[in-house]
Structure 1
Amino acid sequence: MDDQQASLLGPADVRRLAEELDIRPTKKLGQNFVHDPNTVRRIVTSASVTADDVVLEVGPGLGSLTLALLPAAGAVTAVEIDPVLAARLPRTAAEFAPALADRLTVIEADALRVSAADFPAPPTALVANLPYNVAVPVVLHLLAELPSLRHGLVMVQSEVADRMAAKPGSRVYGVPSAKAAWYADVRRAGPVPRKVFWPVPNVDSGLVSFERVEPPSTAPRAEVFRVVDAAFAQRRKTLRAALSGWAGSAARAEAVLRAAGVDPSIRGEQLEIADFARIAEAAATESGR
């Protein structure tokens, strides 16, 4: 932690800023602002942010988490889609953390459309309170676009956290879990109580941590992800049946699966991402014959 500190937003500060900006949090955007200083401190600590990190924060909102990140990180780049919030954040940093405000860069953009070229310095860590309706697409997009991201911690809806961190064989293991595993080791990192948000949401939240890993295969990621999508599009079916459309026929799906060393009679929820990669490799090999 840096010797320089930031004052953090409490409930009165959050409401004052929202009133000043005439902001009424909407469910459509999944807006719930954190107003508890202990929660944002816990997030920064759990994220293992150091002075060597350039932290990417998505959806900083009124700045609760941003202010907790500034003393810990070397720099913070906040991506905010709302122009009113994006314009206010640098002023909030200057008011609450005057000695640290120069560490903050604000980019007014949609996190689902940013690329590496948009950032003044390559982000090394993702720390964010993500809107519930875009959490999985945002994380997968950023991991794909920003190879510099080595680790991170995101706060998401509890059910989303379960799906992102699920392992093969779990009832909630599916497309988000398998695709996230291509990029990173993803784990649950604890619950977050509803009362730390304003307004209080009608769903529980949870923390998800990740550490970047090497892809399990040299197969093109897009091809592997096509197999994943096909396997879970009809998740109650056997792989032979579920992959028949992707492969062109059930017979070819079975041949590819056997070539990959995968039992055609099991379901996609039993496969690790490396298994899906082997299926994509086997299909490419068979096509090249």
Structure 2
Amino acid sequence: MNLQKTNPTLYYLQRGLFYLLVLVISVYLLLPFFWAVLTSFRRSGDLFLSPMEFVMAPSTVSNYVQVFANPSFQRGLLFSVIVAVAAVIISLILGSFAAYALGRFRFKGKSMVLYIILAVSVFPQIAVLGGLFTLVRATGLYNNPIALIFSYLIFTIPFTVWVLTSFVRDIPGELEEAALVDGASPLQTLFKVLFPVMMPALVTTGLLAFINAWNEYLFALTFTSSNRTVPVVIANYSGASQYDQPWGQIMAASIVVTVPLIILVLVFQRNIVSGLTAGAVKG
């Protein structure tokens, strides 16, 4: 039954309420980001203006200039890139092998392994912080990016394995059988046949793992004292005195580290959707 023809008033009322709900949710989600961007283009004294005066105040890029001229922010940005990229690469390599074994082979204890992986992925960071800190100090890796890379693997590898395993299960077995008939070894089958098919899932897990590693704060704060990643650098931003809080520079730095993530998500959004929904529907 076509509601638009039978009851046009109710039809347009429902559509109006739907678009109103979409508008309210959009404003609720985008307003904090909009205000952060606006603050990053305002001077420190503008923060004491009324909301309307603050919006209409003249813009300035001095906050961004000061942020990029800050040596601590430059080092933090470099360390964040190194740690996040290294953690993602290691996670994808190890996760791909693990997902291939869990998704293609049958062995005793397979379900238990998957349950353990799922349990580790939801384990709170604070629960393992003390033990990891003792291990990092004992191995002499304190204030070393290597300590952050391996500590980030605690939450990137389980997520990678879990997502890729679901994807590998959905790959038709005929592809693997055809490669084996042609004389390909299991490793050749994995690298030359399955990896190209797994590309949407690899992009999805890699990007989401990168976002988690890029935004991680607790381990970076605990395991480093000077070689810190950018979230810790932003949290420790200070002004000319102990009573000065440079909110404009803090917001500018936050925008600088957030925009690349937004661009990556927009560029790979189709891969993300296809990767997350892979294996959800069996045909």
Range class of TM-score, shorter chain: under 0.3
TM-score normalised by length of structure 2: 0.21
Report the structure number with the largest CA radius of gyration: 2
